[in-house]
Amino acid sequence: MRRAFASVRARATLGASLVVALALVAAGAAVLLALRANLTAQAEGRADSAAREVATQLLAGRPYAELDLPEEDENPVQVVDDRRRLLAASEDLERISGAGTAAVKPVAGSGGDGTRDGQADGTRDGQADGTGHGDADEASEPGEIDDDVEYSSGSATVDGDRADYRFAAVEVSTEDRGDLTVYAGGSLADEQSAVSTALTSMLIGFPLLLAVVAGVTWLVTRRALRPVAAITAEMSAITASEDLARRVPEPDTHDEIARLARTTNETLTALQTSVERQRRFVADASHELRSPIASLRTQLEVGAAHPALLDVEGAVEDTVRLQELAADLLLLARLDAGEKPGEARVDLAALVGEELSQRTRDRVEVRTELRSVEVSGSRSQLARVLGNLLNNAQRHARSQVTVATRADGAWAVLAVSDDGEGVPPDERERIFERFVRLDDARTRDEGGAGLGLAIARDVAARHGGTLMVREAPSGGALFELRLPGPAVTRR
């Protein structure tokens, strides 16, 4: 059993750890992606700003050699023409990829030696007389800088240090130098450093957090299952000792385990009651059977020794009593086993008439007030109820017994009353217990075994009805059987 509880704890711990691990991985991936996207956007913004700053200088007509370029290690720059020739580049640029061209040195005559592109002698492009010197103030009117920007990833080696960059490509149109493209890089060092730091923190923190979650889950599950272990141990002890008086411990909580313990104790109580009732039933049945069997045996032994002294009538009466008692015990056993009452239609008025026609030894007169009313159930069991109620009334009546049937709404009512002494109010429930006789001085022959009313109430309950006793108008006892009509569903 400990292994079972350990397995439950292990499964709960593993399940919680897996859920938390998946949540952490998903959250960590989302954080890393968001962090990387944000820092990459910042690098692109720096690259775009640097590229537009150089493009503005080109529009102003500044020579390539005089361009004010950003710091090489922060924003490496290339200026290329529409034929992908490198016209200007950062000074210490040693290697580059992902930008306009793999070249790092401007082409000859591009102005890298201090002259403007297309000016071998320093004169303005297009001056046929070769006079005058060009400078920024003499540049042609600015064109325009394209609003669109394209980004690409690459790397650059500046002064021996290689780093990754996000390059922005900005196109600028000039009147004297044609279409140019400025490539400026934004360093990804911050992005890589931040992502690396976050990833390292996650790789260290996530296992620690998972360990904490697993440990807490293990402890909480063990604490939660501790009452279950106590319940299981007590149930094992009850099974081993067969002591149904013991009860499992109920935790001082209001959770499912507490309800389990209470339900278990209620089940044990019902089982104990059933077993004790069965034991009493067996003991009482054995005691009740002993008397007629002993009497019958005595009469048969006397008859065998002295045939003239054989009391045939007494032997028949004892045999009948024994037969009735055995039939009662068998019916009770079937009822206790849950025998279904059936679904036959039974007319109570016709049932009363049929039962009375078969009774030839009644001591007092039986009056009837019958109205036809149908019920659904077992005809034989209902006949046994009527017979038991009539027998009980015959034993206690002074001069008259009354049987009535009627409908009361959706219920059918069968009432049997007598004019005897009645049943004291404090005894009106006890008389329905098995083997109970209120008059202890009455002999067994006169009073029966005390099973008739118990059987009658059990049959009534099986049919979804009730059997109660109250005072009759004549002062005796009135037993009222209420059964649901055919349209009423039994529960």
Domain end: 339, 372, 390, which one? 339
What tokens were used for 466? 């009730």
What pLDDT score does 59 carry?
87
Average pLDDT for residues 126-141, to the nearest whole number? 36
The pLDDT, as a whole number, for residue 338 is 73
CA atoms of 169 and 185, how far apart (whole Å): 9
Does 121 share its domain with 177?
yes
Residues 204-252 have pLDDT tens digits of 989 999 999 989 988 888 887 888 888 888 888 888 888 888 888 888 8
Structure tokens at 266: 């209620």
So what's the pLDDT on residue 276? 82
Residue 21 corresponds to which tokens in the numbers above? Answer: 């691990």
Say which CATH number the domain at 419 has.
Answer: 3.30.565.10
CA distances in angstroms from 49 to 38, 46, 167, 168, listed in the order given? 17, 5, 11, 9
Cα–Cα distance measured from residue 62 to residue 54, given in angstroms and rounded to the nearest whole number: 10
**Of 369 and 122, the one with more pLDDT:** 369
Given a contact cutoff of 8 angstroms between Cβ atoms, the answer to whether 163 and 76 are in contact is: no
Pairwise CA distance, residues 320 & 323, whole Å? 5
Alpha-carbon span 300 to 486, nearest angstrom: 50
In the predicted model, is pLDDT for residue 444 greater than 70? no
Angle 356-362-363 (CA atoms, 0-180°, nearest 5)?
145
Q: What is the pLDDT of residue 151?
A: 92
CB atoms within 10 A of CB 271: 12
Look at the block and give the residue holding tokens 């009512």: 413
Do residues 388 and 410 lie in contact, with contact meaning Cβ atoms separated by under 8 Å?
A: no
Q: Is pLDDT larger for residue 47 or for residue 6?
A: 47
Q: Average pLDDT over the chain, rounded to whole?
A: 82
* Confidence class for position 449, pLDDT limits 50, 70, 90: low
Tokens of 454: 């118990």
In a domain, 388, yes or no: yes
Asked whether residue 75 falls in the same domain as residue 167, the answer is yes
Say if 467 falls within a structural domain.
yes
Q: Flag whether pLDDT at 60 surpasses 80.
A: yes
Do residues 346 and 376 lie in contact, with contact meaning Cβ atoms separated by under 8 Å? yes
Q: How far apart are CA 369 and CA 371, in angstroms?
A: 7
Q: Does position 335 have pLDDT exceeding 60, yes or no?
A: yes
460 and 476 inside one domain: yes
223: domain range?
Answer: 2-28+194-239
Domain co-membership, 209 together with 143: no
Q: What torsion, rounded to 10 degrees, do the Cα atoms 192, 194, 199, 201 define? A: 150
pLDDT at 487 (0 to 100): 55
Specify whether 254 is located in the same domain as 227.
no
By DSSP bridging, strand 344-347 and strand 365-369 are unpaired
Q: How far apart are CA 164 and CA 185, in angstroms?
A: 9
474 Cβ partners below 8 Å, 6+ apart? 400, 402, 417, 418, 419
Please say which residue of 178, 209, 239 terminates a domain: 239
The residue ranking higher by pLDDT, 402 or 174, is 402
CB atoms within 10 A of CB 354: 13
Q: Is 226 in the same domain as 158? A: no
Task: State the residue for tokens 């209420």.
Answer: 482
pLDDT confidence of residue 167 = 93
85: left (phi over 0), alpha (psi -120 to 50) or beta: beta
Residue 354 has pLDDT above 80, yes or no: yes
Place of tokens 């109010």: 425
- Mean pLDDT of the 252-273 span: 87
Total residues belonging to the chain: 491
Classify residue 88 by burial, with Cβ atoms within 10 Å: 0-12, 13-18, 19+. buried
- Please report, for the chain, how many H helices and E strands are present, in that order: 8, 14
- Rounded distance, CA 165 to CA 483, Å? 93
Residues 470 and 437 grouped into a single domain: yes
pLDDT of residue 244: 84
Total domains, the chain: 4
Helix 189-241 to helix 256-305 angle, to the nearest 10 degrees?
A: 20
| The pLDDT of residue 61 | 86
Based on the domain organization, do 399 and 346 belong to the same domain? yes
Beta-strand ranges (E) seen in 55-160 are 77-81, 86-89, 93-97, 144-145, 150-158
pLDDT of residue 144: 86
Highest mean pLDDT (candidates 92-96, 270-274, 312-316, 349-353): 349-353
In this prediction, residue 111 carries a pLDDT of 55
Is 90 exceeded by the pLDDT of residue 372? yes
- Are residues 265 and 219 part of one domain? no
Which of the residue ranges 143-157, 315-329, 343-357, 402-416 would you say has the lowest mean pLDDT?
315-329
pLDDT, position 480: 95
* pLDDT higher than 80, residue 464: yes
Nearest to 356 by CA among 381, 334, 387: 387
CATH code for the domain in which residue 308 is found: 1.10.287.130
Parallel, antiparallel or unpaired: strands 150-158 and 161-174:
antiparallel
pLDDT of residue 490 exceeding 70: no
Angle at 103 between CA 102 and CA 104, to 5 degrees: 120
Same-domain status, 324 and 361: no
Q: What's CA 399's distance to the chain center, in Å?
A: 66
Q: Are 372 and 349 in contact (CB under 8 A)?
A: yes
Q: What is the pLDDT of residue 133?
A: 33
**Do residues 360 and 389 share a domain?**
yes
Give 236: exposed, middle or buried? Use CB within 10 Å, 0-12, 13-18, 19+: exposed
Q: Which pLDDT band, with edges at 50, 70 and 90, does 438 fall under?
A: low
Is 441 within the bounds of a domain? yes
The reply to whether 41 falls in a domain is no
In a domain, 489, yes or no: no
Each residue's pLDDT tens digit, 407-419: 999 999 999 999 9
Residue 42: inside a domain: no
* CA dist., res. 72 & res. 99, Å (int): 14
Q: Indicate the pLDDT class of residue 481, thresholds 50, 70 and 90.
A: very high
Question: Quick check: 469 pLDDT over 90?
Answer: yes
**Residue 46 forms part of a structural domain:** no
| pLDDT the model gives residue 366 | 92
State how far the Cα of 323 lies from the Cα of 338, in Å rounded to an integer. 23
Domain membership flag for residue 36: no
- One domain, residues 183 and 198: no
Say whether pLDDT at 164 is over 80. yes
The candidate with the shortest Cα–Cα distance to 425, out of 462, 477, 367, is: 477
When comparing pLDDT for 112 and 305, which is higher? 305
Q: Are 80 and 179 in contact (CB under 8 A)?
A: no
Looking at 309, 339, 369, the residue that finishes a domain is 339
End-to-end CA distance of the chain: 39
Least confident of 167-171, 226-230, 370-374, 402-406: 226-230
